[in-house]
């Protein structure tokens, strides 16, 4: 086995270990930063998840348009042809719209990993750690495999198993993955969306970030928890804000 083959196998093992043995994975990344396989696997899992959830997403989009037609005076005042076109576009998006959905499976891991690495780099500086951006970026991209790739895949499987008719909004679909709203079932609005965003994958990511700070940066104490916690909360706030704005736009 040549050097490149051994390196590739090692990088694949790192992706697996992030899921089953994170300390070993980050120990390896501390010596040899790598993220290529993690990026490709995250994209693949995300694309499969998008494909599986497409029927549910289209059903929800049609429900949203129907709700707008029934409740929004501006939309209700459109011609029948315009309303029919809106419903048709919701049920059968254009190839460009479909391609954009899959493009997000490429863009999201890059943006999330950059955000994650920069915040943890700040945490490393505050805690006088030893991590550099290259290693934190590699660790963040490997963390994206479970927190973005597997999350999308599981959501797609849940949407497929339950069927499109079981979802009336995107909040319903995102909330199908176990999350903290289960603890406060009556929560609605921004609070409900925020608790939904704190699902098992977001909390998993928090735990992996803590381990990464301890191993890659060599940080102990509160800093190793505060900055990963800030990332998790900030991510939940962003998603909850988007969901709340979407609900306000539709009028649901």
* Residue-averaged pLDDT of the chain: 91
Check whether 1 has a pLDDT greater than 60. no
Q: How confident is the model at residue 169 (pLDDT cuts 50, 70, 90)?
A: confident
Residue 48 and residue 166: Cα distance in Å, rounded? 20
Tens-place pLDDT, residues 21-57? 999 999 999 999 999 999 999 999 999 999 999 999 9
pLDDT confidence of residue 2: 57
Residue 232 and residue 251: Cα distance in Å, rounded? 28
Tens-place pLDDT, residues 75-129? 778 888 888 888 888 888 888 888 988 998 999 999 999 999 999 999 999 999 9
Residue 209 and residue 70: Cα distance in Å, rounded? 46
Dihedral sign from CA coordinates of 229, 230, 234, 235: negative
Check whether 4 has a pLDDT greater than 60. no
Q: What is the arithmetic mean of pLDDT over 128-153? A: 96
- φ, ψ dihedrals at 179, nearest 5°: -150, 175
Check whether 206 has a pLDDT greater than 60. yes
Q: DSSP class of residue 2?
A: -
């Amino acid at each position: 086995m040549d050097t490149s083959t051994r390196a590739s196998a090692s990088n694949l093992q790192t992706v697996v270990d992030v899921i089953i043995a994170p300390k070993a994975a980050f120990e390896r990344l501390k010596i040899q930063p790598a993220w290529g396989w993690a990026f490709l696997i995250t994209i693949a899992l995300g694309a499969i998840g998008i494909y599986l959830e497409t029927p549910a997403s289209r059903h929800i989009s049609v429900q949203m348009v129907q709700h707008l037609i029934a409740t929004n005076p501006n939309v209700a005042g459109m011609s029948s042809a315009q309303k029919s076109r809106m419903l048709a576009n919701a049920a059968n998006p254009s190839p460009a719209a479909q391609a954009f959905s899959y493009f997000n499976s490429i863009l999201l891991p890059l943006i999330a990993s950059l955000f994650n690495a920069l915040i943890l780099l700040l945490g490393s500086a505050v805690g006088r750690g030893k991590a550099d951006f290259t290693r934190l970026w590699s660790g963040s991209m490997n963390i994206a495999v479970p927190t973005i790739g597997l999350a999308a895949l599981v959501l797609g499987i849940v949407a497929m198993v339950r069927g499109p008719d079981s979802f009336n909004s995107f909040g319903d679909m995102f909330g199908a993955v176990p999350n903290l709203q289960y603890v406060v079932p009556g929560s609605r609005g921004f609070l409900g969306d925020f608790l939904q965003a704190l699902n098992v994958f977001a909390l998993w990511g928090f735990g992996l970030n803590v381990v990464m700070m301890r191993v890659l940066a060599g940080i102990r104490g509160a800093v190793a928890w505060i900055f990963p916690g800030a990332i998790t909360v900030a991510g939940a706030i962003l998603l909850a804000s988007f969901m709340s704005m979407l609900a306000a736009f539709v009028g649901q």
